[in-house]
Amino acid sequence: MFLGEVFEQFARDAPVSVMVRATLENALNPLALDQLFEDTAQRQYTRTLLFSSIVDLMSTVVCRIRPSINAAYKKSASLLGVTRKAVYDKLDRLEPAIVAALVRHTAAALGPVITTMGGDLPAWLPGYRIQIVDGNHLASTEHRLKELRTTGAGALPGHALVVLDPQQMLVTDVVPCEDGHAQERSLLDHLLALVRPRDLWIEDRNFCTTGFVFGVARRRASFVVRQHAGNLPWQFVGKRRSCGRIETGKVFEQTIRVAHEDGEVLFLRRITVVLDRPTRDGDTEIHILTNLPAQDARARTIAELYRKRWTIETAFAELEATLNGEVETLGYPKAALFAFCVALVSYNILSVVKAALRAVHGAKIVTEEVSGYYLADEVAGTYRGMMIAIPEDEWAVFHDLSPVALGHILRELAGNVRLSEYRKHPRGPKKPQPKRKIVGQQNHVSTAKLLKAREVST
């Protein structure tokens, strides 16, 4: 490395925290963020509080380094040079287009870093850019706003469509919406604007609409989507034929015809998986529609691609477990969406760390055994001390590093990481819950007495 002795000590003893901060400094270069704000904002403008400063403040809350916005403000008040009210006013008015651009900007900056390190995961379907999309309704907030204080219903601050690239495990795009009741279908026009030729979009049945299916095809892209019974009128063409089986059941294929209201017609492949075990909803078959050419993907390949859609559900679960992206005190939709998008950015930062670990220690061991929770916990535990010990201006050296240079440093730091400290501890299968009983009017029991009775009985 190339900085001082204290930096070198943290690089040896807390390399994950150094990797996170170095990547943050590069991807969230303050000058680039402030320019992004100026280029994207329609109503807001900068007086004193810079967009880069509010991103930095929110990231400490999202990464659990500070417990709240107020606590983060108190620590940075002298540097921010504005009142607490000015901070909250800025948060409450951040336009959704700005926070979406923030996610897109960081993904574009970090993708080349992962590639140059050799941290990409194997391609799901060579020749296609895979994009998995799913919706996320933000959790209900506290009833702090005047309009919420008299209602007992949960206060939903927003909804977002999240796009994940599974080869790099980066969130590449987000479509934020302030209406917590909004459904995926109401946002599909915004999603179609993100579709590029040779994309392969994988999504669940909420996205199976005539408009989206034809919209993707018109953009010379492809889709793999679970069929919705009522959203897409269709007709069978030809016979159903057996195509073998996958792990979860037998696979069949049949051609169908779908028509747009303007007269345009598409012939799609309908892949059916007859399940060995019904789903939680009781479905015994799953029907998947695609416009992928048969020479690029056979029926079983398409069925496996749809199974892998749960990669994004796993990402959501890790996001919830490791980061504080749904801040319950932020009732205003714009502020809540901003916090969620900063969490997506932080997830991308951790994805870069994992990519560096894959490049150095091997993809199999990192993918199967390294816990994102323990990585994030390491950052939360050591970050404060590191930022006190290493002056802020020393990190500026990472701002303008090229993807190759940053990747080289991250690989070097990854070599210092002891993977045993971050190993997953998967639990065994859940045991069925025994039926609980209350004896008489007994509201409480003594645990010590019950344990003593067990000792006597054995």
What is the pLDDT confidence band of residue 261, given thresholds at 50, 70 and 90?
confident
Report which of residues 174 and 378 the model is more confident about.
174
- Region 376-390: mean pLDDT is 81
Residue 160 CA, chain-centre distance (Å), reads 11
Whole-model pTM: value is: 0.90
Q: Is the pLDDT of residue 117 over 70?
A: yes
Report pLDDT for 446.
87
- Taken in order 356, 361, 366, 370, is the CA torsion positive or negative? negative
Q: Please measure the distance between the N-terminal and C-terminal CA atoms of the chain and give it in whole angstroms.
A: 61
What gap in Å lies between CA 62 and CA 322, rounded to an integer? 9
- The pLDDT of 188-208, averaged and rounded, is 94
More confident residue, 298 or 396: 298
More confident residue, 229 or 89: 89
| Residue-wise pLDDT tens digits, 126-162 | 999 999 999 999 999 888 888 888 888 888 999 999 9
Instruction: Give the three-class secondary structure for 267.
Output: strand
* Residue 281 zone, left/alpha/beta (φ > 0; ψ -120 to 50; rest): alpha
Other Cβ atoms within 10 Å of 87 Cβ, number: 22
Per-residue DSSP letter, 145:
S
The more confidently predicted of residues 44 and 333 is 333
Distances, alpha carbon 192 to alpha carbons 135, 305, 451, in Å: 15, 21, 61
Q: What CA–CA distance (Å, rounded) separates 401 from 19?
A: 14
- Token pair 């700005």 is at which residue? 98
pLDDT tens figures, 432-449: 777 777 766 667 888 898
Distance from C-alpha of 132 to C-alpha of 145, rounded to nearest angstrom: 35
Task: Give me the amino acid identity at 145.
Answer: L
For residues 22 and 326, what is the distance between their CA atoms, to the nearest angstrom? 25
φ, ψ of residue 322 in degrees (nearest 5): -100, -25
| pLDDT above 90 for 266 | yes
